[in-house]
Structure 1
C-alpha cells in the first residue's frame, strides 16, 4: 500500500503535529540560540511534494507570513511569502493567498493621499483571491510630504478612507491590526490636517479589530502627525525625541484598554506623565501586562517622582523591563503586581537597590510567579563596583522563590561569586544561568551543578579546568554530575582554546545530557582537532562516540 494512503488515514490533528514539530523551538532554544526560520522552511519543503493532506499543512506553515509592498514607480504591488523555501518555485500569489495568516503591508504616505495606492491595490492580479484568513495585519507608512499639492483636504480624506476600506475588504478577518509610522516619515506643513487624515485612515483600519497596535516615532517632523482622536489602543510602541504631551494624551485615552506599552524617552522627566495626568490626576492601566521603558542616553540626574500609597498604576504586569535609571523615587512600577509578574529586566544602581530593600518590595517571597530575571548595571563604565558582591547578589537572588532563568550582565564577576548561587534555597528550580562576563572555574562549577539539579544551560565567558585531575579520574569521581545540563555557551573571543576545550570534554564525560556547545565561529576546526587528539593521547577511546556527539554551534 502506498505510504501516502497510510498518511491520509491519520487524523488531521496528528498530521498537523508532525508538521509543527519541526518548527517549534523549545524554551531552552529561545534563551540560548538563534532559531533559524530559513532552516525550518527547508525542513518543511519536502512535504510540498507528497500527499495532498501534508502538502496543504505544509502550505499553512510556509505561507503563513506574507509581505506586500505597493510601489508607485512600477505601478505594481510586490507580494512575497517570507517562509517560502528558496529551493522551491513560488506559485502565483492567487493560489496560495488563502494560507496567509499574517500580512505586512508597506506603502508610501503620499501614494495613499493621492489615491495611487488604492488604484494599484485594486488592480493587482491576485486581488480576486484576496486573503480571507489573515488575522494579523501590519501596515508600515513610509515617505514624506512637504505640502504644495493640488488635492483638497476632503479629497485626501476620501482617498485615505477608500484605501483603508480596500484593505479591510481584502482581509475581512484581520482582527489584530498594527500601524507603524516610519522613523523617516515627515510632514512639515499642515500638521493639524495631517492628524485628521491619519485619524480617518487609522479608524477605518482598526474597524472591528480586537487588538489595535500603534508604533510611532515622535520627532520634530511628526509632533502633529499623531492620530490624536484614536481610543481603544491595545499595544503601543513609541519613541519620543521631542515634546511628549501629544503622545501622553494619546496613551491616557487608551489607558484602560492598553495591554502592552513600550516607550523610549529622550528625556526621562517625561516618564512621570505615564502615571500622572497634566492636571495631576492619577492614571492607571488595569489591563497592561507588558511595560518596557528605555532612554536614548544616560541623562543628567533629575528629581524622581513618586505615587501615593493608594495609586496602583500597573496592577497586572507580567513583564517589566526598565532599560534606564529607575525613574521613580518609590516602588511605583512594582505596586500591586507581586502575584502577576513573571519576567523582570532592569538596570540596578545603589540607590535603586536601597529603595527596593527599604520598601521590602521583594520580601517574603511574594513574587511567586517571577521566573525570569535579567539585571545589568546602570552605567557600563562604572559598573556596580560601589555595591559589595554580597549585597548585590543576595538582593538579586532573593527577588523570587522560583527563578528558572537568571541573566546577569551587571559586572565582570569573580568566579567565587558562584557560591551565592548554589547556596541559595531560592534557586532549586533554576534552568538557565547566563553570566556572560564571568570566567568560571571547574572547581566552582562542580558544586554548582551538584546543587542546581534542574540546570539545563550555562552561559559564561570561559570555563577553565583547575581540578588537577585526569579525565578518567574526573569521570570516576563525578559521574553523573548533572543529568539535565544540555547546553554550554561561551562568549569569549580571546585565545584560550585548549583550556576551554579540556573543560568542555570533562563536562561531556560527567554530564550525559550535554550535547551542544556554543563557541566562536573560528573555533570549530580547533575544537574537532582537539577532541580527536585527546581521544588518542589520553586513552579515551571508550568515550569517543560520546565526545564526538557534541554538536558545535557557532555564533
Structure 2
C-alpha cells in the first residue's frame, strides 16, 4: 500500500493556485517577451523540492521559456541589457529531475542574434554545435527573434555581390531553427539595436525576415523595433503581419517606415503599437496615396503615443469611412490625432477598453460628433481619460456640453474599471462624476483629495467597488458636531455597511501632511466596510504610517474594535 503525504493528496488545481500565489508577478515581460527572471526561478525552485505533485506544476513553469544566443554580438548585448537577470539560454543548466528537460518543456523560445552573424554563417554554426546541436523544442509554439545589430556598410556590400550565397546562408539557418522547433505557429521579429550597434539593415534583411515568418504555418505574428537612433530598414517584402510594435525615444526615428509597414499589412493586422517622441503621421496610416480610406478589418488593439502634437492639422479626414470597424482596445496618447470621430466609427459594439488623452479641442470635437451617449458602447469594460489643459485656458474653455461629455464617457455600460486624470475632477462633485457607473470594480481618481464622508457615501452608490485609488483624504467636515473620540461609534451606527466589496484603498504618492488624520480616515473606513483589508500609503511614508496605525488602534476610541482592525497592520505591509 502506497502512503501519500498530505501535500501529495492535494487536488491539482489547489497546487496550481499555491504556485501562482508564491510566484506572484515576479515574471518579467520585456516588450511582450516573457523572461523567467532570477527572482521568478528562485521562488519556484523550493517548490520543486516539496513533492512530485508540486514538481509537476513548477517544473514546466521553471522551464517555460528558453533563450538562445547565436552570435557573440548578441551575448554582448545581453550582458549589458540584463546584467542583473541571468537568462536561461546563456547558462545552459538543468535541475537534474528525471523526465524534466529544459528545452523540451519550453513553450516560448527567444533567439538573440545579430544580422551579420546570419550572413557570415556564424549563427548556423552555433546552433549546429554543442550545446545546441541536440537541442529540440517539441512544445514550442512561439519563436521570437531579437536582432541586436544590423550590418556594417562594407559587409552589406560584400554580401550584395553574391545574393545566391546570402540567401543560401539564410535558408540554412532558418532550416536548422525549423528542425529545432517544428511546431512553432507564432513568429515574432524584434529589432533592439543598442547605442553602439550598426543601425542599418542589409538589402537582404526583408528576405531574412520573410523566411523567418515562413517557419509558421500561419501569417507573421509580429514585428517590432526599439531604438534610440534612426534605423535604415529594408522592409519591402514584409507584409501580412498580425502584430506591429514600434518604440523609439529618438526625435528623428523610423516611424514613417512602420506606418508604411502597417498599411501593407492592413488586411491581416490585429495589433498596432506606435510610440515615439515626435509626431505620428496618423493621417498617412489610414489614407492611401489616392486619398482613399484604408480599412483594418481585423485590428483589435491600437495604441498611439507621441510626446508632441501629431503633425496632422485638426481637420476632418473622411466622411463616413470606418477604418477600424472591430476595434476592442484603443489607447491614444496624443491630442486629437484625427480632426473628427474617425477612431470611433463602426466599433461602438466592439470597443472594450478605452484610454484617451484629450485636450480642449478634441473634447469639444468629440462632444459635437456625439461619439459617446448613454448606452452607446455596451461592451466597454475599462475607461481611462486624461484631460490635458495644454492651452492653459482652464474650465472656462469648455462648454457645459463638453464638460458633460468628459464625465459621461462609458456611462450606461458595464464598465468595471474607471480612471480619470487631469484638473477637471476637482471641480465636479463625485456623485455627478460617477452617475451611471454602478458596475465599477476599480476606481482611480489620483488627483482627487476627497472628504472621507464623501467616500463613504460614494461607496454606497458603487456596490461592486473593490479597489479605490485617490489622493490623500481629509477627515472633515464631519456631518454632525460630535466629539472626535465618538467617531468610530457614529460611523458604524450611521454608515455600516458602506460597502461589502471594498478591499483596498490606494493613496497617491507624496508627503503625508498629517499621519494621525490619514490613519483615522483608514480606520473609520475599515469599520464601515467589513471586507476592507488594507490601505496603501505613499511608499516613502509607509513605515511611519503603519506605526501611526498601530498607535491609533491601541487608543481608547478604537480599542473595542481592535480585533477586527489589526488585520490592517498585517496586510498593510503586503500592500
With normalisation by structure 2, the TM-score equals 0.83
- Deviations 1:530-553, CA, capped at 9 Å, x for gaps: 222222322422322322212225
Superposition deviation, residue 290 in structure 1:
0.3
Question: Does the Cα contact within 8 Å between 1:377 and 1:410 map onto a contact in 2?
Answer: yes
- Deviations 1:24-71, CA, capped at 9 Å, x for gaps: 78xxxxxxxxxx987765554333114334312211122212223334
Most deviating of 430-439 and 243-252: 243-252
- Give the alignment of 1:208-287 within 5 angstroms: 208-210=216-218, 212-216=221-225, 221-223=230-232, 225-239=233-247, 241=252, 246-264=257-275, 268=279, 270-287=281-298
Superposition deviation, residue 17 in structure 1:
5.8
- Deviations 1:221-253, CA, capped at 9 Å, x for gaps: 533x23221222000012574576543332222
Match of 1:513 among 519, 531, 540: 531
Question: Does the Cα contact within 8 Å between 1:103 and 1:138 map onto a contact in 2?
Answer: yes
Q: 1:520 to 1:182 in 2, by over 3 A?
A: same
Match of 1:484 in 2: 501
1:342 pairs with 2:348: no
Give 3-state SS (helix, strand or coil) of 1:280's partner.
coil
Match of 2:147 in 1: 141
Match of 1:196 in 2: 204
Distance 2:399 2:489 in 1: 36
Match of 2:66 in 1: 66
Most deviating of 410-419 and 233-242: 410-419
Distance 2:398 2:573 in 1: 36
Match of 1:320 in 2: 330
Question: Does the Cα contact within 8 Å between 2:310 and 2:337 map onto a contact in 1?
Answer: no
Q: 1:393 to 1:354 in 2, by over 3 A?
A: closer
Q: 1:280 to 1:444 in 2, by over 3 A?
A: same
- Deviations 1:194-215, CA, capped at 9 Å, x for gaps: 2433323432344324351000
Most deviating of 110-119 and 411-420: 411-420
Q: CA RMSD in A?
A: 3.5
Question: Does the Cα contact within 8 Å between 1:275 and 1:283 map onto a contact in 2?
Answer: yes
Superposition deviation, residue 83 in structure 1:
9.4
Q: 1:206 to 1:390 in 2, by over 3 A?
A: farther
Superposition deviation, residue 138 in structure 1:
1.5
Q: 1:515 to 1:339 in 2, by over 3 A?
A: same
Q: 1:392 to 1:451 in 2, by over 3 A?
A: farther
Match of 2:370 in 1: 360
1:375 pairs with 2:375: no
Distance 2:427 2:74 in 1: 61
Most deviating of 445-454 and 375-384: 375-384
Question: Does the Cα contact within 8 Å between 1:239 and 1:264 map onto a contact in 2?
Answer: yes
Match of 1:298 in 2: 309
1:427 pairs with 2:437: yes
Higher normalized strand content (fraction of residues): 1
Match of 1:333 in 2: 343
Report the count of equivalent residues: 534
Question: Does the Cα contact within 8 Å between 1:371 and 1:404 map onto a contact in 2?
Answer: yes
Superposition deviation, residue 412 in structure 1:
6.5
Distance 2:541 2:442 in 1: 24
- Deviations 1:498-523, CA, capped at 9 Å, x for gaps: 22121111111111111122222232
Match of 1:395 among 392, 402, 405: 405
Q: 1:183 to 1:332 in 2, by over 3 A?
A: farther
Question: Does the Cα contact within 8 Å between 1:70 and 1:78 map onto a contact in 2?
Answer: no
Match of 1:552 in 2: 572
Distance 1:456 1:197 in 2: 50
Distance 2:76 2:523 in 1: 57
Match of 2:128 among 97, 109, 122: 122
Q: Structure 2: which 5+ runs fail to align?
A: 26-35, 479-483
Distance 1:501 1:42 in 2: 36
